[in-house]
Amino acid sequence: MIDPIELTQALVRCPSVTPLDAGALDVVDHALHSLGFTVTRLRFFDEESDAVDNLFARLGIEGPHLCFLGHTDVVPVGTEGDWVHPPFAAQIEDGKLYGRGTADMKSGVAAFIAAVSRFVQQNKDFKGSISLLITGDEEGPSVNGTIKVIEWMQRHCQMPDVALVGEPSNPKEMGEVMRIGRRGSWNARLVVDGRQGHSAYPELADNPVPKLIALLHRLLQEKLDDGSEFFPPSHLVISSVDVGNPAPNIIPAHAEALINVRFNDKWTSKTLDAHLRRLLDEVGVVYHLKGWCNAESFIVKDEAWRNLVVEAVQETSGQTPVFNMGGGTSDARYIAPFCPVVEYGGVNETIHHVDEYVKLDDVEELTRTYQVVLRKYFSVQSD
């Protein structure tokens, strides 16, 4: 059987800072081949972004079909000298495994593979299929990763019946949180044009800054909603205001702001865009708004799949996880239109931090949880 700690260490020792693979998928490939999986390596690229390596592996050819989604790319380490434990050394100390990607989410990938190894050893003749979609483009622009692998899966009749995303979902300890959906993310660039001039003669210029302030003030006054059953309230953040002007005595010709809205299931990107434009129109200022959506909000309504994973978490952690839709986006959004998907993984307290770590006990518990999910989903008896 595969040891989840040793496999996590092997993955962490690959410096797979997005979009580089650095051998991480080779480690996954080798482990899955040893379990009898058919492994397909998929590289995607386009003119505007880097080539990215991905992997799809499947064991079995019939249904029911469960797919695990994860990623092996990691964010940059920052200043390596700030780390007490080298970011790619995978050192263990005081029951913790340190390194970039230990929590987000190489330990999750390792835990699922280890769970499969235990499950297959105990249930060699189980009926159904297990697959893994592992991308190297989750921390990057996410254009040559999961979304394109799913398109490939559709073309090759590899779509699953249910999906499990192993992103670290728990804030402090195992068993706290399971995600059954995600908020959407809508962005916009708001621009107001004016006429440049000298600040000593404002009557000879047209200052766009006060107009932009008025527009932003109107947006900030608006309460978008009160949340819904599982989602927190939608919120708007002004992330940048800029005029490109280093001089205090020049009235700028243009002023712009960047906006991000994390929205719940009471909105779509289209209804949100239309609503915000109506608010801006109330101000009576000429503006230009270019909006785009990184992700629509979604919620999984398949209670059978949700409850099965909850029961597995209860069995291994002794806790009933809360359904929570906070945080950012995840690759769950790409598979959600095709099958029920839930997210359950390790603890996210140190993700993207200096000296990121995962507790060894948590990796083992997550492995057991995934093993119970497999047992329950494929309706086999425990030993």
Q: Residue 251 and residue 200: Cα distance in Å, rounded?
A: 9
Determine the longest span between alpha carbons in the chain, in angstroms: 84
Token representation of residue 356: 């990121």
Is 73 among the residues known to form the active site? yes
Q: Give the pLDDT confidence score for residue 48 in this predicted structure.
A: 79
- Across the beta sheet with 38-46, what order do the strands follow? 38-46, 49-59, 129-135, 65-71, 162-165, 341-343
Q: Which residues pair with 129 in a beta bridge?
A: 65
Q: Give the pLDDT confidence score for residue 324 in this predicted structure.
A: 86
Please identify, among 268, 295, 322, the residue that sits at the C-terminal boundary of a domain. 295
CB contact burial 10-30 (16+ within 10 A = b; e otherwise): bbbbbbbbbbbbbbbbebbbe
CATH of the domain at 156: 3.40.630.10
Coil, strand or helix at 178: strand
Residues 268 and 131 occupy one common structural domain? no
Token representation of residue 48: 């505007």
Is 138 among the residues known to form the active site? yes
Q: Residue 193 and residue 209: Cα distance in Å, rounded?
A: 9
Q: In angstroms, how far is CA 332 from the centroid of its own chain? A: 7
Q: Residue 246 and residue 59: Cα distance in Å, rounded?
A: 60
Residue 383 lies in a domain: no
At residue 168, φ and ψ (nearest 5 deg) are -65, 115
Could you say which of 21, 29, 138, 256 is catalytic?
A: 138
Give 150's contacts (C-beta < 8 A, 6+ positions apart): 133, 159, 334, 335, 338
Cα angle 377, 379, 383; round to 5: 110
Q: Among positive and negative, which fits the CA dihedral 193, 194, 198, 202?
A: negative
Residues 27 and 59 occupy one common structural domain? yes
Q: Give the pLDDT confidence score for residue 183 in this predicted structure.
A: 94
Q: Give the pLDDT confidence score for residue 294 in this predicted structure.
A: 87
Single pTM value for the model? 0.89
Residue 382 lies in a domain: no
Residues 93 and 203 occupy one common structural domain? no
Q: Residue 45 in contact with residue 56, Cβ under 8 Å? A: no
Q: Residue 190 and residue 315: Cα distance in Å, rounded?
A: 50
Q: Give the pLDDT confidence score for residue 383 in this predicted structure.
A: 45
- Helices 107-122 and 360-377, packing angle to 10 deg: 50
Residues 165 and 228 occupy one common structural domain? no
Residues 71 and 160 occupy one common structural domain? yes
Residues 334 and 220 occupy one common structural domain? no
Could you say which of 53, 73, 265, 331 is catalytic?
A: 73
Residues 218 and 154 occupy one common structural domain? no
Residues 291 and 301 occupy one common structural domain? no
Q: Give the pLDDT confidence score for residue 380 in this predicted structure.
A: 67
CB atoms within 10 A of CB 127: 12
Q: Residue 102 and residue 105: Cα distance in Å, rounded?
A: 6
Please identify, among 295, 321, 356, the residue that sits at the C-terminal boundary of a domain. 295
Residues 149 and 278 occupy one common structural domain? no
At residue 378, φ and ψ (nearest 5 deg) are -95, 10
pLDDT in single tens digits along all 383 residues of the chain = 999 999 999 999 999 999 999 999 999 999 999 999 999 999 999 877 889 999 999 999 999 999 999 999 999 999 999 999 999 999 999 999 999 999 999 999 999 999 999 999 999 889 999 999 999 999 988 899 999 999 999 999 999 999 999 999 999 999 999 999 999 999 999 999 999 999 999 999 999 999 999 999 999 999 999 999 889 999 999 999 999 999 999 999 999 999 999 999 999 999 999 999 999 999 999 999 999 998 999 999 899 999 999 999 999 999 999 998 877 888 999 999 999 999 999 999 999 999 999 999 999 999 999 999 999 999 965 54
Q: Which domain holds residue 98?
A: 4-182+297-377
> Which residue has tokens 């189980």?
126
> Pick from 185, 176, 180, 164: which is nearest to 325 by CA?
180
Give 107's contacts (C-beta < 8 A, 6+ positions apart): 4, 8, 97, 346, 358, 362, 363, 366
* Beta strand ranges found along the chain (DSSP E): 38-46, 49-59, 65-71, 92-93, 96-98, 129-135, 162-165, 177-178, 181-182, 184-193, 197-198, 235-242, 250-251, 254-263, 288-295, 298-299, 322-323, 341-343, 357-359
**Total count of domains within the chain:** 2
Please identify, among 295, 321, 346, the residue that sits at the C-terminal boundary of a domain. 295
Q: Read off the amino acid at residue 19.
A: P
